[in-house]
Chain A
Amino acid sequence: MHLQILQVYFSDMALCVAVVSKENAPKYVTSLNPEDELQIQYEIHSSIDFVEEKLKTGKKDMRDLYLGLLYSTEDHKIYGYVTNTKVKFFVVIDSSNLLLRDNEIRFMFRKLHTAYTDLMCNPFYIPGDYITSENFNKVARGILTGNS
């Protein structure tokens, strides 16, 4: 029983990971099921509204980049994270996935942020380009599949 839960847990961490630029254009989107992607992209796009709302109203702690749950639909829950340069990260998880708690989501974002910072340090990456870095992709896929 325990094993089963673990398997579920590890096989399906997140449904989608996305990076959205300062100008709110998508810079990187990867999702577990390509057939859901359109729906998820619509939802992420809508979530930008919440991010902007949160940024506008001002967070309690400006040092905390994690925005928490932004949007919850029938199928998905969307969590957000915004860097100091206003680059947004989104993680979409299944609504029925009750195993992921806030801490785990925070951890995902931290990993994503580290990978993004590494990417920015790469002199061959032109900031603003669509992200095609293999390393970043690996980290993002790792978050999706849970084996990172």
Chain B
Amino acid sequence: MACDDDNDFIRGIFCPHVAVLCSEKAQEMCRKNNLSFSDLLNPFARLTDVNFKDTNGGTINVPYLQIVFSNMNSQPLSITKERSRLHDSVNITTEPSNITVKIGGREITIPENTPWFTKWRTTFLQIQNVSDHEYTKHFLGCMIVISSSDEDKVSSLTQQVQQSILPNQNQSPKWFHTTILRYYVVLHESLNPDLSIANKIIETLQSTYGHSSCHLLRLNSCTSPKTELTEGIWDYLNNSFSLTDSIDPHDQSGEFENSLNSVDSSLIHPLSPQEYNKNLDGESKMDIQKVYGAYLDENDHNNIRDLTKHFVSRSLIPYIESQIQSLNESVTNKKGVSRSLLSATKRWFSTNKPTAAALPATVIYTNDSPELQTRRLADLYMILGAWSLAFPLYQAAKRDFSADNAWMLYSGAIEMAAICALMCPSVCDNRKAIEYANESVLTYLNTCRVPQFATRATILFCELFVSREMYGEAAKMFIQMTNEDSDLRSALLLEQAAYAFLKSQKPPMLRKYAFHMVLAGHRYSKATQRKQSLSCYQQAYQVFEDTHWTLAEDHIQTAIGRQATFLKHMKQASEAYSKLLARASSQPPDQQSTILRDYLNIKLEYAAEKNDSSIIDLALPLIDQKKIKILLNADSIITKEHSFDDDLLDPRWYKMEEDLITEARGIPPLIFKPTFAFYGSNDAIKQLLYVNELVQVQMTLSNPLNISLCIENLSLTYSFDKELNLVEPQVLDELLLAPSSTTQVILGLKTKSIGILTITGVQFSLLIPSIMSDDIVKRVINGWQRFEMLSSIQFNVQPQTSLLKVDFDGNQVNTLIGEMNIIRLTLENAGTIPLHKIYVSTSIEDSFFSESNHSCKNKKIRSLLIQMPPNSKKSVEFCFNSPDTETFSLDLLFYYESQIETKKQDYRLCRASWFMTAKPCVRLSASALLANQNSETLNLKTIVHNLYKGNEVEQVKLKQVFLYSPEWTLSKKIYPQGSIKDLDQQQSCHLFLQACRTNKSGISKINFDNEQFPQTDMCEKFVSITKSLSKEIKMPKFDRHKVQTEVLKCIDLVLAILWQVIIKDHSNQLRIICGIHRVSLTKLNLSVAWPELGCLDVSKNISKPIGRLKIFGPDRNIHPYDGTPLPNDATGLLESPMNRLINIAFSHPSTVSHSFNDKKMCIVSVLIILKNCVEHKIEVKIDTNTASCSKPDVDDQHFCWIGVINPKPFFLPVSATRTIRLHAAVASQGCYKMTAKLDILARPYPPAQHAFLSQINSSSSLLVIKDPKSEITS
């Protein structure tokens, strides 16, 4: 992440380096403080406002100068060690705090900073080798430190020093220049008051080396060590590993003695025991929090500060100035003098670009070649922070190196040029700086193949880019440096790239951020940095969450789960896996089964961690919390398969319940609150819970995976305030959830004692999918899932009361229309208290109980007047006739009360509901006609039709015919006589029955065959209840012509036919079905059918084409009384009983031969017989002049009534017959309809409210007139 003080960061890297050489005694003095001398100096080596003189004598101000002191003989680390250092550097103990950024409507939580990256970067830069191609890290000088107790050795020591710091190009330490700056420091213990020795030494040194390069430093003023750190001066040591070695007592590389043969000691094999010991010591030390600077007080700090100030101002700056001077001279002197003609021409004519195939350098530079001197000078400016002075020098050096194909030097120079340009934007524009930066990284990487320098360049540039808000460039550069070399580096850089994308302002690249986070996570995991990896994936998931990119989401969640598992973050891991499993996904089944296995194993591990291995909260299978339903008394629903059907909550049940209460109590309830059959988990539950009654919970389990889930021992979990074993849960042994399926499961439990019960959830054993398909050992995990809403409800369990249990038997769901169904119900009082007042409400009125049929006010309610003591049983039969609808539901609602006196009238309910179908099989249609002459006989025209279409039924057998009427009884006459044949499919049979008037009301019947039908009683009952069911025929409005009811009730009879079919089941079993069809006849001459004609032929209605559009004319029927239009099919409705007051018959010869040649007119006498059909006196009027016949279908031009054509109205008493003679005159031969010009009107007498109405003539009487002569002629 960006450092705010990026300039400090760059300055901290490019600064003067000074070597430190300590005598053993001096070293010891420092070690008292747990420090080396260089460590001691470094915090105080920051100077402000240092001035130095330029070549022109101008003064240049360096506002901020840091000098880095390091041990002269510190050895470069071995590669393995380097790697482990870098690896360790990423492990930081303190987590950065998180911040939330809002981008594109999404809130992303990211760490505020990335200390692991900063630390890695610092470590990386610290341990980097000093290279020959640049001089920024070369030591400018050496500080020689001796102790005041080294008095006698001073001369020998200084001599040794002179030898040891001879510049040697090929070995470390590397010196900036052959003339090395030397500076002598004498350490003196402050507590030793004897300064004479120290003074003596310093005087000796000053006399030899001059005042400016010698200093006396008094240290360790504290008498006793400080135990706690008060200042933060030494904190930097805790943050870095680099200095642990230098304090290591075994590695006294800073001492003179060792320094002489340091080359030897560095040659120890890294795997030798000594090295191993070192490591061990180093590790053991790291564990202890070291106290640094324990003997140093404020005074000492000031002394050190004075030392560094003295060193810089008196020794270092003058040295640098002289260096600048001499380098500048050599650069300017040799400028323009080309080393060779060849390179000069090349410089002009070729555009050298570094390529992957590095050309060998044409020139090998000597140490003081002008190109290197240029570079040196530039580096000097660089370490002093004089960017603008350094830049042109780097550019010049770059050109030279490029011309000579010295790519390493070239990329170093261009890298520095880019840094200068970025640090000091005035020297060149940004674009060029970026170009330089890219060039340098690419050259390092591809041409020179030195990834560590490329990495360094990347780190430096990106830092600069980020601080200058050039995020795009930073990201690009970060990504460029990610390769296969180092996973850790790639991961860190990818992560930084991701942050750069996120920070990018125009616009923020949220998705690129996520993508690179995923990549970084992947690389981290490869570098075994699990914590970082997890954090990366989690950050990436924030972007992918809920975007439907399921493939990516799955990948991230799997990675999170895996990393969390490795880190033992079991909760997190299980959450990640739960997310992965709890939704449908496109992962292949074997992948899912792996995920599931991992998830379950994690769950087991997690539980083991918490020492709670009994039951584990699992995410699978999914339970739809909203669909949990609870039934408090399982016996209150008889039809178990529908116990949780939503149909049971239909409002019709409330109506039924209310009716039952009204019936049972005699008065409607004041406040009626319906009882729910069952409750959803959100409902407020009002019903009570009793001991020993089964409570059932229905839940929906779904399996979103593409593999099946095996569940065993599924049962409800509960809490009970009494002993837990007083509750008996039901256990479902095995359940297999198919891939992506949903199953409904009903589980129950019973309580054995009163108390407070809460149903908390469901427990089960989930089979862990085995890796091998033939794994014999079954591993299960005991899972648990909570019912969210239900678990908050407390049930107060009441003592047992009366309980009606109803069992049923013998109900066929698929029936035929008109079928007589019998359900045998067994009632049992399973409670402890007697019950009584059983009322049953049913949806089908056409039904009765075989037992005590006590009539109720409400047609739909039957009462069973039985009392049931506890444990008594009673069986009743419920009979009903299937209605003429294709599907219907048969609902039974039982109402009963406990026979215990309570203030509150408590009742309990019991429900049954069947969804049934009825197929058409038989149609019965009948009409009643009065026999012509005899008022005492009634002809019943009956048609039975076999409607069945299908394979199961072959024949319909007609068994019996019933007539139920108060006045009529069936005579034994039946046409056609003899046995009635069975009806095949689509056959119909016309029967002609005759009924006689009788006085005693009752049921008369005729058997078609000799068999006696066993259930005649039942049939008779069905017949007898028919009348009450018959639908009130809806009368058209006769407001102006009110009809007296007694006139209407001319006949009132029920005709019923008993039939039998034999059906073959799917299992080829024969089933005998008996059915009864009944029609209620209340009008003469009107054909009544059941099932009604239209109602079954739905298909015909649909296929009927739409009739032509009628706009004009009275093409439709208009109601004769009020003029309202009638539907086309409703002509029948016009017929009222008032049109059927009298029966009309014509009597005349059917054929008359007449010769019109002989006589122009043929006169035929016609007798009209009128009979009163109603039990009322009737006034009759005959009108022959009517033109009411709308359709002149017959030739009536040559036909008229003659004689007394309009007789006076006359009265016709009850059951009387009267004959009237009329004469018809016909003028030509033909066929004539006698009824044509005749209108017979009638009205009941007294005529108070009635007008004359024309009577319907059921027969059209035809008269044929023949002329035999004309026949011959024609």
Contacts and interface: CB of A to CB of B under 8 A. Distances in A.
B512 A41 contact: no
Given A26-B548, A37-B551, A38-B551, A45 B511 contact: yes
Contact of B551 (A41, A47, A56): A41
Contacts of B549: 25-26, 41, 45
B950 interface: no
Given A38-B555, A42-B518, A25 B511 contact: no
B552 A42 contact: yes
15 contacts: A25-B548, A25-B549, A26-B549, A37-B551, A41-B551, A43-B515, A45-B515, A45-B544, A45-B549, A49-B507, A49-B510, A49-B512, A53-B506, A53-B507, A56-B507
Contacts of A26: 548-549
A8 B898 CA distance: 89
Contacts of A67: none
A117 B971 CA distance: 80
A14 B509 CA distance: 26
Contacts of B552: 38, 41-42, 45
Contact of B547 (A24, A38, A42): A24
Contacts of B544: 45
A127 to B, nearest CB: 15
Most B Cβ at <10 Å: residue of A38, A42, A43 = A42
B514 interface: yes
Given A25-B547, A26-B548, A38-B552, A45 B507 contact: no
A42 B540 CA distance: 11
B548 A42 contact: no
Interface residues of A, number: 16
B514 A45 contact: yes
Contacts of B518: 42
B586 to A, nearest CB: 10
A56 B104 CA distance: 13
A38 to B, nearest CB: 6
Q: How large is the interface on B (under 10, 10 to 19, 20 to 34, 35 or more residues)?
A: 10 to 19
Interface of A: 24-26, 37-38, 41-43, 45-49, 52-53, 56
Contacts of B510: 49
Contact of B509 (A25, A38, A49): A49
Contacts of B507: 49, 52-53, 56
Contact of A42 (B501, B506, B509, B515): B515
The secondary structure that dominates the B interface is helix
Contacts of B509: 46, 49, 53
Contact of A46 (B512, B547, B548, B555): B512
Contacts of B551: 37-38, 41
Interface string B852-865: 00000000000000
A48 B514 CA distance: 12
A48 B507 CA distance: 12
Given A42-B552, A46-B514, 18 more contacts: A24-B547, A26-B548, A26-B549, A38-B551, A38-B555, A41-B551, A42-B515, A45-B511, A45-B552, A46-B509, A46-B512, A46-B515, A47-B511, A49-B507, A49-B512, A52-B507, A53-B507, A53-B509
A125 B515 CA distance: 32
Contact of B511 (A37, A48, A56): A48
Interface string B531-561: 0000000000000100111011001000000
A52 B501 CA distance: 14
Contacts of A25: 547-549
A43 B512 CA distance: 8
Contacts of B511: 45-49
Nearest to B543: A45
A37 to B, nearest CB: 6
A56 B506 CA distance: 9
A96 B557 CA distance: 32
Q: Which 4 pairs of residues, A with B, have the shortest CB-CB distance?
A: A25-B548, A46-B515, A49-B509, A49-B511
B543 to A, nearest CB: 9
A24 B510 CA distance: 13
A46 B510 CA distance: 8
A34 B25 CA distance: 71
Contacts of A48: 511
A48 B512 CA distance: 9
Contacts of A52: 507
A25 B549 CA distance: 7
B451 to A, nearest CB: 17
